[in-house]
Amino acid sequence: MKNKYNGLLALAGILAMAGPLAHGQETWPVKPVRFIVPVAPAGAPDRVNRLLAEKLSKKWGVQVLIENKPSVGLIVGTEMVAKAPPDGYTLLSTLTAHVQTPFLFNKLPFDTMRDFMPITQMAEVDVMFAIRADLSFKTMKEFLVAAKAAPTPMTFGSTGQGSTYHLNGSALAKATGVNLLHVPYKSEVAAMTDLAGGRIDASFSSFPSVMPMIQAGRVRPLALVSSMRSTIYPDLPIFSDIGVTRLDSWFGLLAPRGTPVEIVRKVSADVREIVRDPETTKTFAEQGIRTIGSTPEEFAKMLEMNLAGWKKTIAETGLKAAD
C-alpha cells in the first residue's frame, strides 16, 4: 500500500506544478461531463452533487450529468470510471467507502489508488446514530447499558453489507462490548423508513436524511459519528467520547488515471470556488455538511491518512464484505 501512496503523492506534486490548459485543450469541456456516483440517489451525497452539477453546468456551458450506479462496495460505478477514457468527461464522485473496499474485498476489478487521480475533497458530513422514538433511552449511555443487558441483540441499520455505516456499527460494538445485529439496506432512506416504523432499533444516517424524522419526533438522535460536535445538536456526544475511533465521512472527486493534469487542475479549482462560496457553506452547514474544497495535493494526503486509518479500524473489527 505504501508504494501506491508514494505514486499518488508524486502525482499530486505533478498537478501542483502543471500550468494552464495546454494548447488544444483550452476549449474543454465541449460536451456533457458525467459524474458517476456509486451510491443510490437521495441523502447527503445527492445534495452536494446536484448543487455542483447545477453550478458547474452554468460555469462550463455544458451539461453536468449525475449518474447513480449503486452497488455493494461502490464497485460498479467505481469500475466504470476506472475504465473510462481519461479525457475529463467521466469523473467519480465518491465517498469514504472508496478507501475501505481494499480491506473488505479479496479482489477488486480496479486498484483503488493507482487507477485514479485526486481532484478535490468536496465536503465532510456528520453521521447520526439514532434510535426509534418509542424506545425509552434518552442518552447514548442508557442505550449502551440496555443493549448490554438485552437478552437478544439490538438491531441497527446501514446502507449495506460492508458499507461505512456497517463499519460504524461494528466499531461501536467492538469498542463498547455491546452485541449489535446488523440489518443491511440499499439506501439511507430505506433504513430510516424502517427505523421510524419500529422494524429496527437503531440506524446510522447522514444529517440531511435523518433530520426531518428527528424534527417530526419519529426517531431520537443519540450520538454523532464525527470529529467535532454539532452546532445544530451541541449536546450530542461524538463517538470518540465513548471510546470509538474517529470515523469521518467525506465526499470527493476522482478522475481516471491518465486524465490531463490541466483538466484535473481546472475541475479542482472550479469546484473549490463553488463549495467555498459563503452562501453554499452556510446552506450545507445547516444540513450537517462541512464544505472543504481541497487541492489535489491536499486530497491525496487526506486519502493517505484515511486509508491507513480505515485499514486499522477494519482489521480491529474483523469485518469482511461477505460476512
Cell readout for 11 is 502525482
pLDDT of 286: 85
pLDDT over 70 (residue 176): yes
- Cβ-proximal residues to 96 (8 Å cutoff; 6+ apart), any chain: 164, 248, 249, 250, 306, 310
Return mean pLDDT, the chain. 89
CA distance 77 to 94: 9
The CA distances from residue 250 to 7, 126, 243, 289, in Å, are 22, 9, 21, 9
What percentage of the chain carries pLDDT values higher than 90?
Answer: 65
DSSP 168-213: HHHHHHHHHT--EEEEE-SSHHHHHHHHHTTSSSEEEEEHHHHHHH
pLDDT over 50 (residue 16): no
pLDDT in tens, 116-146: 999 999 999 889 999 999 999 999 999 999 9
Peptide bond into 234 cis (omega under 30): no
pLDDT over 90 (residue 89): yes
pLDDT over 70 (residue 17): no
Architecture, CATH, for domain 2-125+247-317: 3-Layer(aba) Sandwich (3.40)
pLDDT in tens, 35-79: 999 998 877 888 899 999 999 999 999 999 999 999 888 999 999
pLDDT of 322: 54
**What CATH number does domain 129-242 carry, 2.70.150.10, 1.20.1050.10, 3.40.190.10, 3.10.450.40?**
3.40.190.10
pLDDT band at 228 (very low <50, low <70, confident <90, very high): confident
Q: What's the whole-number mean pLDDT along residues 196-207?
A: 94
pLDDT over 70 (residue 247): no
Going from N- to C-terminal start, the domains of the chain cover 2-125+247-317, 129-242
- pTM, rounded to two decimals: 0.85
Q: What's the whole-number mean pLDDT along residues 308-316?
A: 88
